[in-house]
Chain A
Amino acid sequence: SQQGEEDPQALSIQEGENATMNCSYKTSINNLQWYRQNSGRGLVHLILIRSNEREKHSGRLRVTLDTSKKSSSLLITASRAADTASYFCATDPFVIQGAQKLVFGQGTRLTINP
């Protein structure tokens, strides 16, 4: 079951601009994670935000989480051509016991134009 819904599906901006991607989900979560995927490659973890956190920063990345609205956003500031990739949110649904079974959104394809 696909829990995460991402918006927009595709985003094209000029180098230097900021890029914002949004993710909505349906159930309670332990945490929400953002991953990046370059074309034809595996996913690389970017940032994890726990359900009791509201905002987190890592370099040019800023992630927010609103559990009341079941939504998250990823902001990439001062974009570079090398940021061109697909970005996925993944939720870790809350369960009392059991493995982490991440549920991925369909992704946002980001293109940075030089």
Chain B
Amino acid sequence: DGGITQSPKYLFRKEGQNVTLSCEQNLNHDAMYWYRQDPGQGLRLIYYSQIVNDFQKGDIAEGYSVSREKKESFPLTVTSAQKNPTAFYLCASGTGRSPLHFGNGTRLTVT
């Protein structure tokens, strides 16, 4: 079954700790994306990557970092510099200008 797997589904961290969210896809898509969703809001782009070993900042990249060492994987690190990290994080992949495929998200709670 082709798709995108995000793990874990729920994540709890203490303030000041870095945390890494996993995103893996087996759709053979070149592009991968990270979005953040706050309650009752739309999605905001954090980072995206069009090819391996290359990635670009989105609209709200401050306090986040990514890597793209493999085509299948695009992990997101939420650093202690992110002022309001509690949110629902969605990973997506796509090719060309076709619709995106989304994972089922990771809900991060920082206390």
Binding site for B on A (CB under 8 A): 1-2, 4, 30-31, 33, 35, 40-45, 48, 88, 90, 92, 99-107, 109
* Chain A residue with the shortest CB-CB distance to B31: A99
Number of interface residues of B (CB under 8 A): 30
Interface SS, B side: strand
Contacts A88-B42, A99-B31, A101-B45 known; A43 to B56 CB distance under 8 Å? no
Count A-B contacts at CB 8 Å.
Answer: 65
B97 at interface (Cβ–Cβ under 8 A)? yes
With a cutoff of 8 Å between Cβ atoms, the chain B residues found around residue A4 in the complex are 42
With a cutoff of 8 Å between Cβ atoms, the chain A residues found around residue B105 in the complex are 40-42
Contacts A99-B48, A100-B94, A101-B58 known; A43 to B42 CB distance under 8 Å? no
Complex Cα spacing A90 to B97, Å: 12
Pairwise interchain contact A99-B50, C-beta atoms closer than 8 A:
yes
Of A42, A88, A101, the residue contacting B103 (CB under 8 A) is A42
